[in-house]
Structures are given as C-alpha cells and as structure tokens.
Amino acid sequence: MLRDRLTTEFPNSHGEVPSEIGPLIEILLRAPRARSILVWLDKPRGGAACLRRLIHDDLPLTHEALDSAAPGQGPALLRATLVHLGVLPHRNEPLAGLQPWLERTLTPLPAQHRRTLRIYAEWSLLRRARRRATQGRFTPGSAASIRNAVRSTTAFLTWLDEHDIPLASLTQSDIDMWLSEKRDRQHIRLFLRWAHQRRLTGDHEIPDRQRDEPHRWWSQSEHWTHLRRCLHDDALPLEVRVTGALMLLYGMPITRIAVLTHSDITTSSTPHLRIGEHPVALPPAVHQLLQLQAEYAVQHSAVGRVTTRPGWLLPGYAAGTHHSAAILARKMRLHGLPARPSRNTALLALAADLPASVLSDTLGISISAALQWTRRAARDWNVYLVARTASGPTGNCASRDGQGR
C-alpha cells in the first residue's frame, strides 16, 4: 500500500514522478512504521503537501522554490530531509531566512524608511552576517540579533516621525530624549554610526551603559544538588541531564552543547571531551552519562532513523539535524535548571582555580571574558558563597524564564 501511494503521490504536470525525489521515496519505503509515512502524506500543511505543490507546478526542486512556500514546520522539515539525503545542498538556514523576513518586515513601512532600512540592512547588517557565515560563526542567535537590530531601528525612525524630527536634522538633545524614553542603545548606535558615514545625519554620541555584573547564581549546596540530579536522576530527560552536567561543570553555553558530536568524546586512554583548544578530562560519572546519550540518542524523524547518523550527540527532530539550543534551554527551565545561574556559578568556580589563559584555552572563551571571570572570582567568590549560604535557597535563580544576568 505504501509503495503504491509513494509511486503515484508526486506526479508533475505530465503525470510523471521526477527522478530527483527518487532517493526520498526509497528511504520512505524503508521506514520502520509505514503508518507514520501515510500520516505524513495526508497532512494538509505538511512537507508532503508542499512537495506535491512544487512538483505539480513543475517548479525545480531547489532552496529558492521551497522559499516560495508558506513558512511553517512542514516545509522546514522537508528541506532538512532533502538536504540530509543530498537532494538539496547544505546552506546556512538562519542566514538564508533573513532576506525573506526582511522583505516582509519592510513592506508595510513608509517609503522613505523602507529605502533607508533596506540599504542599511543589505549593506551593513546582512553583509556582516554573510562574512560571519563564511567563517562558520553565524547561528540562530546571530540571526535573532539582526532581526532585533532591524526592529529597533524601525522603532527609532518611527519615533522620529512621531516627534517630527527629520533624520538629517537630528541633534544630540534629540538622542538624549530618545535614551530617556527607550532602553535600546547598541542597535541605534550602530545605525547612527552607519548613517553618519553616509552623511545622512550628524555625528552623535550614544554613551555606553554600564554593563551589569552577573548576579544570578546557585549557592554551593544548590550547585552540587543540581549536579547530582543531572548525574543520577533517571526521572529527568537524558538530554537535560547531559546539558545540565556539562553546563554545571564546565560552564558550556547551550549553543555549544547542542552541536557536540560523538567525535568530540575521546576514549583512547582517559575519557576526554573537546571543548576549547584542548580536550578536558571527564569524570567517570559524566563520561558514563555521555556514553549513555551517545548510545540511545535516536533521530525523531523516520528518515533519520533509516539513514546514516550524522554523529550529533543530541540529534534533533528533523533528519540530520542537531537539537535546537532554544528548545534545550526551554527544557532546562521546565526542569528547574535555568541556564544563566548554572553557567555563571560554574564559570566563577573554575575561574577561582584557573589562570585566565588556561580558562580561555580550556573552555574556548575569549581571553577578555576569561580575564573578567578571574577578576570576579578574586573579588567575589568567598563573599558570594557566604552571602548566598546565609540567604538560603534562591528564588531569583530558579525564575520561570531563566533570563537576565
């Protein structure tokens, strides 16, 4: 039944099934549960429906054709599957998604702002983004930062309209009034610097706001309690235990944990995990936990389960992908392990024992960040522990969203 459906499901305008989707059909026929494929075929907004429309309209099977489909989970999962099977080439999806998002965002704006923002976004924000992507450093978080920059600049230009202030006539007092009403500084500073270089406005100053010192921590007892939970509590999801253990021990950010692969764990003599420049020795309990994750981690998609594993330690929902850092962070919060206090406490404890240069090489953080943490440790560690122990459990650190510093 499944073979009959698949061989007749995707005809083009000539009644033929394109040869390009042959690899997809062959893999779907090998799925362990035929019913799950039949359900996928019948979803009105799923990947199969999207594929049918493209083929029926005789559109080439390309990223650009998929971009023309309505945004949603179905086309996104279809794209990931086709990339995994080699039908489509790999591309940086966070970067690729910015251009259509920008078009949708600019369309309703007044013409003068639309033109200014388009030039700024294309020749400053997206140009820098493409350069970072070629270096392999453009992530979903990077894309979110660019979207925030466009939104903030849009809000600033709208504010100028509301106060009848042309950009060319902007004064420092106008900037000061904006800062008194709004909180955004960084994105507007970048925009005004760009605008001044192109003689669209004068040279205006937006002073840096003093950066808040980290103030969200676990007490020493809380830190070890959460670490024991991650190492030994079978009631926690395995990916939460792995993420929490690595964060509480090494201060690893979730974005880096999400992209760990099996090859990052070495067991030639003593178990090690590659974090920064040098492999870090793993305690036996942590190594056992990572081995358990590597052994039982399975792709959620039917295609992922019957094709070669790409080696992600934390495989994602779509075939060939790793777990989303945002989803991992959400799971951590749901299980009482918000990322910010967990990572702050680990970094402070490590900085108390390691020189900045060693901390930077070992954890893969910048030397300036390592120096900041060693200074904090020298100044605050003992005082912090006494204060936190005296104050008891911290409702602050276990807040619902786990954000803030």
Residue 115: left (phi > 0), alpha (psi -120 to 50), or beta? alpha
Q: How far apart are CA 207 and CA 395, in angstroms?
A: 33
Helices and strands of the chain, counted as H and E runs: 22, 3
Strand ranges (DSSP E) for 192-338? 265-266, 272-274, 279-281
Does residue 233 have a pLDDT over 70? yes
Model pTM score: 0.73
Is residue 382 pLDDT above 80, yes or no?
no
Bridge partners (DSSP) listed for residue 273: 265, 280
| Least confident range of 78-82, 239-243, 376-380 | 376-380
* Mean pLDDT on 184-190: 86
Q: What are the domain boundaries of the chain? A: 2-91, 96-197, 220-391
Cα–Cα dist 31/26, whole Å: 9
Q: Mean pLDDT check: name the lowest of 32-36, 128-132, 377-381.
A: 377-381
Regarding predicted confidence, which is higher, 106 or 296?
106
Whether residue 328 contacts residue 239, with contact meaning beta carbons closer than 8 Å, is answered with: yes
Token pair of 393, please? 């459990």
Cβ within 8 Å of residue 387, ≥6 positions away: none
C-alpha R_g of the chain: 25
C-alpha neighbours within 13 Å on the C-beta side of residue 75: 17
**Tens digit of pLDDT for each residue in 190-228?**
999 999 999 999 988 887 665 555 667 788 888 899 999
CATH architecture of the domain formed by 220-391: Orthogonal Bundle (1.10)
Q: Residue with structure tokens 């240069």?
A: 357
CB 142 within 8 A of CB 94: yes
Is 119's pLDDT higher than 90?
yes
Mean pLDDT in residue range 238-253: 93
Over 80: is that where the pLDDT of 4 sits?
A: no
Position 386 confidence tier, pLDDT thresholds 50, 70, 90:
low
DSSP element (H, E) containing 126: helix 126-134
Residue 22 and residue 15 in contact, taking contact as beta carbons nearer than 8 Å:
no
**Packing angle, helices 186-197 and 140-162, rounded to 10:** 70
